[in-house]
A = this chain, B = another copy of it.
Amino acid sequence: MRLESATLTSPPNPLTCCSPLRTAPMDVQQATDLAPILKAIADPSRLRLLSIIAADARGEVCVCDLNDALDLSQPTISHHLKVLHEADLLIREKRGVWVYYSVNTETLNSLCALFGGVC
């Protein structure tokens, strides 16, 4: 007996439009929309990037710092950040020459809700 009316204000987010896993079987559309978001975090390098940003006290990290944090080339880091950003997991903000990424808390919470059904 749950209202599925979250589609009004924000851009259509496959996560918030989606009931918790244990509530109902997922149809093809839901699964197709959801998979890319999960694929985005299902990579060791991206997991590390995300956790570095998520755990940062200032709430944001400059790309220049991320480039040094992992043993990967600059284009590869840039690619991973793009994947995370397009999955709505990271928020991008350009300031001057630098680019800062912060985590999208809403998406993380939705992921939690997907698995738990409680959060």
Interfacial residues, chain A to chain B (CB-CB below 8 A): 21-28, 30-32, 34-35, 38-39, 41-45, 47-48, 50-52, 54-55, 69, 103, 108-109, 111-113, 115-116, 118-119
Contact, CB under 8 Å: A112 / B103 = no
Contact, CB under 8 Å: A35 / B43 = yes
Number of copies: 2
Contact, CB under 8 Å: A111 / B115 = yes
Q: Is the interface of A mostly helix, strand, loop or mixed?
A: helix
Tell me the minimal C-beta distance from A43 to chain B in angstroms.
6
Contacts of A55 in B (CB 8 A): 21-25
Contact, CB under 8 Å: A108 / B21 = yes
Kindly state the separation between the CA atoms of A38 and B51 in the bound complex, as whole angstroms.
15
